[in-house]
Structure 1
Amino acid sequence: MPKLERPKPPVFERVEDERLHRKQRLAAAFRLFARLGFNEGTDGHLTARDPEFTDHFWVNPLGVEFCDVRVSNLVLVNHDGDVVKGDQAINREAIAIHSQIHAARPDAIATVYAHSIYGKAWSILGRPLDPLNENACAFYEHHSVFHDCTEVLFNACEYQRIVETLGNNKAIILRNHGMLTVGQSVDEAAWWFINLENSSQAQLLAEAAGKPHIIEHNTARLTRNHIGAPSNGWFCFQTLYNRIVRDQPDLLE
């Protein structure tokens, strides 16, 4: 019998096909986040680097709910926050942190920041997550905490310090604000955010019930190397993508 291999991220010959693929994944992530309750009014941003103009990225338009985002209303902006393609406004101040991350991290194809209830609750504690299960181990020694958020909208100095605190990690907890994730694909970044939200919920419940048992260092690190690999983050998103496209095909318009 032939050996069946696990699916891998696609490789594109034409930049137009890769751009469409990223925009479809981005629109699907917005719809999924709306379904999961990660949206809060007009707050929250998911961005995807353009494959041709790599100092530009696609983002959701201002005032459009996550449940209404589709491929056709995504907006292309440059690193100064200027709209390059699209006919709707964007929140320039709110996406400034995305532009700094994309500039500092060439590997960051996508950046995710949304307002999820357990992520906000965990961020208030100002602590990194503990390796309590295999999902949480994905972030073991691979996420950081930024303690110095001083305003509802971050200022330029804070943007730079957030990027420095994020470093090469896949996620950062912004104390008293929420969480942000990055990935080598939209799929990966979206999955890390979903996983981080679920891990926050699990630890909050565990600590409310008693004293959690923490997975020991070597086991947590080995688990991270498998569960936390970019390829696994991409793979875990595929069933969610297929489901949301099946349920809401208009997102591809």
Structure 2
Amino acid sequence: MSTAEMAMREDLAAAYRLIARFGMDDIIHTHISARLPEEPELLLINRYGDLFREVTPESLAVINHHGQQMRGQQVPINTAGIVIHTAVHAARPDAVCVMHTHTAAGVAVSCLEEGLLPLNQTSLLFYGQIGYHEFEGIALDPGEQERLVADLGDNRAMILRNHGLLTVGRSIGEAFSLMYNLEQACRIQLSALGSGRPIHLPSEEVCERTASQYAADPDGAAELEWLALRRLAGMPLDGH
């Protein structure tokens, strides 16, 4: 195994543990995948049946874009994970990492007709950069893949209607940051709507300016954030 592959495995295993740590896992369901740096036609993904907090660099399976396991012992792989993740990686050369969750907040917002609202600076990270995909049942049918990638387009995030959230990153750290912030935006929206008070939205001009500020990332926050998160991933769950 090359040094580059081991580094990718370590980052991906850390992302799984962080998803669990922040309460965004769903027992053994949902999935995160990453493209191997030296073999871009191959993907790393979790072994179906592992809790996210149990995922290690060594436990990750290697599959191709057809969902076939290419190395080592054959292990169970979530069929929906294969359908969703192979489609996105195959369609998007920039998709180094793809994350998918079923959180209560994410699923709740996916059920709202208006979807994600531009309520605050967290949600404005996704202003004009989020797709929507209609629910077609559990994602087991390869025929859904074409529609899924068409709905994603070149966006970095997508809300799967009546289902959950999906993010696409040029690195594992970017995909995680997008998912964390999308989850937070959904939680904030539900809290604001649940207050029963009138909702105040920023102007379109401010929304566009804020989105462009995020895109510029003048302080290099994304890289610093992932370094901090990697430290957190190595800590016991009780923080001691």
Residue 139 of structure 1: aligned partner: 126
1:61 to 2:47 alignment: yes
| 1:203–1:50 Cα change, 3 Å | same
1:183 has 2:169 as partner: yes
CA deviation vs aligned residue, 1:104-152 (integer Å, no higher than 9, x gap):
10011000012211101111114331222211111000001112x1212
Question: Which moves more between the two structures, 19-28 or 45-54?
Answer: 19-28
CA deviations on 1:7-38 (whole Å, 9 max, x unpaired) are: xxxxxxxx933322221111011111111222
Secondary structure, in 3 states, of the residue corresponding to 2:77? coil
Distance 1:194 1:86, change over 3 A: farther
* Cα deviations by residue, 1:17-66 (Å, 9 ceiling, x for unpaired): 33222211110111111112222232111000011111111000011110
Q: Is the 8 A contact 1:140 1:220 kept in 2?
A: yes
Q: Cα RMSD (Å) of the superposition?
A: 1.9
Within 5 Å, give how 1:123-202 maps onto structure 2. Answer: 123-147=110-134, 149-202=135-188
Map Cα deviations across residues 91-113 of structure 1 (whole Å, 9 max, x no partner): 23432111111111001100001
CA deviations on 1:199-221 (whole Å, 9 max, x unpaired) are: 00101111121222112222222
Letter of the 2:91 counterpart: A
Give me the TM-score of the superposition, normalised by structure 1. Answer: 0.86
Unmatched runs of 5 consecutive residues or more in structure 1? 1-14, 249-253
Residue 242, structure 1, aligned to residue 231, structure 2: yes
Matches within 5 A, 1:227-238: 227-228=214-215, 232-238=221-227
Q: Equivalents in 2 of 1:175, 1:122: separation in Å?
A: 8
Distance in 2 (alpha carbons) for counterparts of 1:59 and 1:245:
20
What's the counterpart of residue 212 of structure 2?
225
Counterparts of 2:120 and 2:225, CA distance in 1: 17
Q: Which moved more, 1:239-248 or 1:136-145?
A: 239-248
TM-aligned CA distance change 1:238 to 1:133, over 3 Å: farther
Residue matched to 2:2: 16
Distance 2:223 2:153 in 1: 21
Aligned residue pairs, count:
233
Moved more, 32-41 or 60-69: 32-41
Q: What SS does the aligned partner of 1:133 have?
A: coil
Q: 2:83·2:139 contact (CA, 8 Å) conserved in 1?
A: no
Q: Distance in 1 between matches of 2:80 and 2:164?
A: 17
Whole-angstrom distance in 1 between the partners of 2:9 and 2:176: 13
**Structure 2: stretches of 5+ with no match in the other structure:** none
Aligned mates of 1:228, 1:133 — CA distance in 2: 16
User: Relative to 1, partners in 2 of residues 1:41 and 1:243: Cα closer, same or farther, differing over 3 Å?
Assistant: closer
From the superposition, tell whether residues 144 and 19 of structure 1 become closer, same or farther in structure 2 (CA, over 3 Å). Answer: same
Detail structure 1 runs of 4+ shifted over 4 Å in the superposition.
228-232
- SS of 2:70 mapped into structure 1: strand
Q: TM-score, normalised by structure 2?
A: 0.90
User: Does 1:75 find its partner at 2:61?
Assistant: yes
| Overall identity of the aligned pairs, in % | 33
SS in 2 for 1:151: coil
Asked if 2 retains the 8 angstrom alpha-carbon contact of 1:189 and 1:233, the reply is no
- C-alpha displacement of 1:228: 4.3
Q: Tell me which of 79, 83, 89 is aligned to 1:96.
A: 83
How far is the alpha carbon of 1:223 from its aligned partner? 1.5
